[in-house]
Structure 1
Amino acid sequence: MSEADLALIHALQIAPRVSWAEAARVLDSSPTALAARWQRLREAGMAWVTVHSGEQSRDVVAFVDLQVDPARRAAAIERICRDPRAASVEEAAGGRDLVLTVIVPDYDSLAAFTLDDLPTTPGVRAVNTHVATRVHRQGSDWRLDALDRDQQAALRDAARNAESPGPGRVPDSYWPVVQRLARDGRQSAAEIARALDRDPATVRRQVARLLATDALAFRCEVAGLRSRWPIVCTWFARVPMTELDHTVRALSTLPELRLLVSTVGQSNLMFLLWARSSGDLMRIERSVDEKLPWLQLTESVLTLRTRKRMGWVLDRHGRATGELVLPHTLQPR
């Protein structure tokens, strides 16, 4: 992707629904040029804006490692990617074949998926589950490095002025609108009304209400292999509970950090990084070892391919195919 592509994506990471006019002022471009650039990126599966539930604190999140029969690997991936309980699916190296991010409403649902359904999936030979106790940082918090500080501040101001969300929940009648926004988080109310064959004024009011609460969280995703950050690695660590808060604050300063989660088990902390190179990974590991000597790295897992990310099915190169398997968090509860 070009520098202009990366700058636009970075802008939409900060303010996913910023108007093209406002974005053009910050990026020193024109609204027409930005709209055309975004359409090209989105159609190529290089970047997309979607939503996820802002109420995920009520959900159970787990990370599930699978060992899979090589002859049935492709079929197992296909089947698991179609399951809404598996929000993300990664092909990995380092003691497991697949790593799933699982988001379900309760522990009974987690047990049914990991103890009943996954073990009976053709090709799956072993299942190991790490249950998250707290999500400290997530993918929607991660940013590219394409904009300067002034540009980032201007876009943060634009996002606050446009939305200023307060507490709220999604009314039952709003779910069709939510699901349209999940497929294209920048769709206008008029476009959604046409797609749903609904009254434009009603949809406009519903969209405005959704934007005015924290019921939804918008996020701009990027095909990692096409950005400056093509290497994905997950580290499992053991940290004394007395040092956990300090560790979380220190790791949160890493620009490469995509995910930081407290877990139950032999390792009580898991963090995922997007890095520029293998040398970058070594540099980060040395830095963490020097600054956090009490942190014991127990395992590292390299992601070879991401086949699904937060419901979006990806191709072999990490690009969005346009197919979205709606997770339970974007369905009526």
Structure 2
Amino acid sequence: MKTYLDTTPPVCRELSEEDMALVHALQVNGRASFREIADALGVSDQTAARRWTRLRSAGKLRVLGLTDALRLGDSLWIVRTRCTPDAARSLGEAMARRTDTTWVNLTAGGTEITCSVRTRGPGQEEALLLQKLPRTPQVVDVSAHCVLHIFFGRDLGLINKRGPLTPAQVAELAFPAAPGPAADAAPPMALDEGDRHLLDLLARDGRAAPGELAAATGLSTSTVRRRITDLRTDGVLYFDVEYHPDVLQQEFRAALWLEIDPARLAEAGAALATHPGVAFAAATTGTTNLFASVDVPTAQRFYQYLTESVAALPGLRRTATAPLHRTLKGPGPYLPVRT
């Protein structure tokens, strides 16, 4: 199976400084116009548009319009599935094709699949987690960990930490933050079918033109613009950049499972979120209560990270790690490569 980002021609290991500035700008505000991006970066809007077209057509990145599960009252789970080595790849590919999964990874030497599962309403988590997977003959064990709080993630990722934009440039591009409670503290937001249709389209192309979205949904262009703004202001819609691994990822990636003294969990999670190599960090249920996805240059640097930065986290009781070998699906919907 190929994902959207398994494309040809092969991509370069690193982006130029100018390209990274554009990617950083899109991570900050995926719907920013080329004029807004150009003004922040000090280039022409034609240059910004040309760089975006080149990167997108080469399969290096795409902008996704995604929804905050906690803001909608949905549940997020991190699911670990241990299986026989001969079954991991095929089972992982089948899980990647599901509409309720994201970040499907082969881990632990190819004997484990780690993925994020989102459920809308009661019973859906049971169908996937407690019925289908355990009944698969090649599955050895399944564990599910409910995400309770996200310390680093959603619209924030490694690009925010490694991108070249200055704080002033980020502030110039950023969509105004909405006042009010955090996403996991606010009451769930209800969506109608029109909203869900619009959001499904944005999940595939976060920069789709309002006219295209209007034609696909049957709404007016002005209504599309207003609904996108409202959904962003309400904290439902955010934008993320999905990139080819060669664009930003380092040579060694790992899942990190930590057991933290509950009294220190918020403090430890906030500290973990600031680590340069942490791409995602969340509090979860289970025998460990803090999860992170880590991206560092080498295994030796990961050892250094564990023995220094992780060891210094407040309230740390124990750690468990699993190298990530292959990503079968990223943050957005699975899209086969067009031939």
Q: TM-score, normalised by structure 1?
A: 0.83
Contact 2:85–2:110 (8 Å) recurs in 1: no
Contact 1:72–1:122 (8 Å) recurs in 2: no
* Unmatched tracts of structure 2, length 5 or more: 1-14, 181-185
Alpha-carbon distance, 1:256 to partner: 1.6
Q: Secondary structure at the match of 1:128?
A: strand
Aligned-pair identity (%):
26
Contact 1:88–1:101 (8 Å) recurs in 2: yes
Aligned pairs, number: 315
Alpha-carbon distance, 1:13 to partner: 1.0
Structure 1 counterpart of 2:83: 68
**Greater shift in the superposed pair: 225-234 or 111-120:** 225-234
Structure 2 counterpart of 1:304: 325
Contact 2:61–2:242 (8 Å) recurs in 1: yes
Structure 2 counterpart of 1:47: 61
Greater helix share, structure number: 1
Alpha-carbon distance, 1:273 to partner: 1.4
User: Structure 2 vs 1, CA of residues 198 and 61 (structure 1 numbering), >3 Å: closer, same or farther?
Assistant: closer
Matched, 1:79 2:94: yes
C-alpha separation in 2, matches of 1:208 and 1:293: 39
Counterpart mapping for 1:109-258 below 5 A: 109-121=124-136, 123-144=138-159, 145-149=162-166, 152-161=167-176, 169-196=190-217, 199-227=220-248, 229-258=250-279
Residue identity opposite 2:242 in structure 1: E
C-alpha separation in 2, matches of 1:78 and 1:246: 37
C-alpha separation in 1, matches of 2:322 and 2:121: 27
Structure 1 counterpart of 2:37: 23
Structure 2 counterpart of 1:327: none
Alpha-carbon distance, 1:104 to partner: 1.0
Q: Secondary structure at the match of 2:271?
A: helix
C-alpha separation in 2, matches of 1:207 and 1:133: 27
User: Structure 2 vs 1, CA of residues 242 and 305 (structure 1 numbering), >3 Å: closer, same or farther?
Assistant: same
Contact 1:13–1:221 (8 Å) recurs in 2: no
After superposition, the C-alpha distances for 1:173-208 in whole angstroms (9 at most, x for unaligned) are 232222221111111211222444654344344334
Alpha-carbon distance, 1:139 to partner: 5.0
Contact 1:60–1:107 (8 Å) recurs in 2: no
* Unmatched tracts of structure 1, length 5 or more: 315-319, 323-333
Q: TM-score, normalised by structure 2?
A: 0.82
Structure 1 counterpart of 2:50: 36
Structure 2 counterpart of 1:270: 291
Contact 2:150–2:282 (8 Å) recurs in 1: yes
After superposition, the C-alpha distances for 1:299-326 in whole angstroms (9 at most, x for unaligned) are 1011011111223338xxxxx847xxxx
Contact 1:65–1:96 (8 Å) recurs in 2: no
